[in-house]
């Protein structure tokens, strides 16, 4: 594996989950794989989980880690070609990525969308140019449209906690005061659609009208605007806000109550609750659920280590 940017970069979800759980059971069994290798983590946006879990995963494999907070500590980046750099940008991605590739054997990049121009964000121009010019394998630490390490950790968590052979997994939209990217729900949908194809789960998405995700991420997935209908009999409920894809980057008015509570989840008495974090309590998700034994959010964040370690091990073993 030379690139991990989406579910399309892996063969089978089941194999990846099995590999990750084997690493969880025996974290230091492959320390020689990363010996004398360097991982560079490049952040253009804030991160708690991705930063720490990926560093820990690399350390478990014997790697050295360099972290670059490009947004705060790096030169302002230019990504467009063919322009005279007489504005505020100081360094072109062509040189910046290539230089980082000189110092690292593997690179990870986090870059959020601007949510101003859909075409620009969904072209993944910055991420693709970074891959093109760095010259070493790249892991997405969340891009404009996807967050694959999060989705892998999510399916690991579902497989660990499932009580039935084919659990019902629901992705439900949640309210928020800010416009958030579609990267996590896009990616979650893409991974769950593949897991459904592999016969591992049943998957349903529910959201208010106007919050339809791009079709490329929801192929073969049942979608309903009726949250109660979607939640009925659910085994896992994945809570996430996202801004509109159609009316790009907008927070649309929603009249009904969409925040998941003990009351709204009564229709799914066995359901566990998931969220990628960070979460805004009692806005996106009721604190009563977060603080209950129905919440898997901490286990899910913990599994980010094994997701990252499984991906790094594959890249280093290629
Ligand atoms: N879930 C997630 O990616 O968290 P961070 O943004 O803190 O890395």
Distance 49 CA to ligand 1 centre (A): 5
Per residue in 3-45, pLDDT (tens digit) is: 999 999 999 999 999 999 999 999 999 999 999 999 999 999 9
Strand pairing partners for 170? 204, 237
pLDDT score recorded for residue 255:
86
Which segments within 118-201 are labelled E, that is strand? 138-140, 168-173
Q: What phi-psi label fits residue 69: left (phi over 0), alpha (psi between -120 and 50 degrees) or beta?
A: beta
Supply the Cα-derived Rg of the chain in whole angstroms: 20
Asked if residue 278 has a cis previous peptide bond (ω within 30° of 0), the answer is: yes
Write out pLDDT tens, residues 232-242.
999 999 999 99
- Integer angstrom CA distances of residue 312 from 70, 131, 154, 183: 22, 16, 17, 21
Å from CA of 85 to ligand 1 middle? 33
Which pTM value belongs to this model? 0.98
Beta bridge partners of 39: 65, 106
pLDDT in tens, 86-98: 999 999 999 999 9
Q: 79 C-alpha vs ligand 1 centroid, how far in Å?
A: 24
CA 252 to chain centre: 23
Q: Determine phi and psi for 227, rounding to 5 degrees.
A: -60, -40
- Tell the residue nearest (CA) to atom 6 of ligand 1: 47
- Residue 250 makes CB contacts below 8 A (sequence gap 6+) with 179, 243, 244
Rounded to the nearest angstrom, the gap between the alpha carbon of residue 46 and the centroid of all alpha carbons in its chain is 14
pLDDT at 134: 98
276 SS3 class: coil
Average pLDDT over residues 232-258: 97
Tens of pLDDT, residues 105-124: 999 999 999 999 999 999 99
* Ligand 1 atom nearest residue 50's Cα: 8
Q: Which amino acid residue places its CA nearest to atom 4 of ligand 1? A: 49
pLDDT of 262? 98
- DSSP bridge pairs for 56: none
Nearest CA to ligand 1 atom 3: 50
Across the chain, mean pLDDT equals 98
Give the pLDDT confidence of 148-181 residue by residue, as tens digits: 999 999 999 999 999 999 999 999 999 999 999 9
Buried b (16+ CB within 10 A) or exposed e, 100-117: bbeebbbbbbbbbbebee
Separation between Cα atoms, residue 266 and residue 277, nearest integer Å: 23
For ligand 1, residues with CB inside 6 Å are 47-50, 142, 150, 276-277
For the segment 245-253, the average pLDDT, to the nearest whole number, is 98
Cα–ligand 1 centroid distance for 178 (angstroms): 16
Distance 8 CA to ligand 1 centre (A): 21
């Amino acid at each position: 594996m030379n690139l991990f940017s989406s579910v399309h970069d892996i063969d089978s979800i089941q194999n990846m989950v099995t590999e990750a759980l084997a690493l969880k059971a025996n974290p230091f069994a492959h320390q020689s794989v990363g010996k004398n290798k360097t991982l560079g983590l490049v952040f253009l946006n804030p991160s708690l989980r991705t930063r720490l879990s990926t560093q820990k995963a690399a350390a478990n494999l014997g790697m050295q880690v360099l972290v670059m907070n490009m947004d705060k500590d790096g030169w302002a980046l230019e990504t467009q070609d063919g322009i005279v750099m007489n504005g505020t940008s100081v360094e072109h991605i062509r040189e910046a990525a290539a230089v980082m590739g000189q110092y690292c054997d593997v690179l990870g990049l986090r870059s959020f969308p601007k949510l101003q121009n859909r075409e620009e964000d969904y072209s993944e121009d910055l991420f693709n140019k970074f891959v093109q010019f760095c010259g070493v394998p790249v892991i997405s630490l969340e891009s404009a449209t996807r967050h694959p390490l999060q989705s892998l950790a999510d399916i690991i968590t579902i497989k660990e906690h499932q009580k039935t052979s084919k659990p019902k997994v629901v992705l439900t939209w949640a309210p928020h005061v800010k416009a958030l990217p579609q990267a996590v729900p896009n990616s979650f949908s893409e991974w769950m659609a593949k897991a459904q194809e592999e016969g591992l789960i049943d998957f349903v998405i529910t959201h208010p009208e106007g919050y339809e995700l791009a079709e490329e991420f929801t192929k073969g997935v049942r979608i309903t605007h009726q949250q109660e209908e979607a939640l009925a009999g659910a085994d896992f409920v994945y809570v996430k806000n996202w801004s509109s894809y159609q009316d790009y980057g907008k927070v649309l008015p929603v009249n009904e109550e969409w925040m998941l509570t003990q009351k709204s989840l009564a229709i799914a008495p066995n359901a566990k609750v998931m969220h990628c974090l960070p979460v805004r309590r009692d806005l996106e998700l009721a604190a009563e659920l977060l603080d209950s034994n129905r919440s898997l959010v901490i286990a899910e964040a913990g599994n980010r280590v094994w997701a990252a370690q499984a991906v790094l091990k594959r890249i280093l073993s290629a």
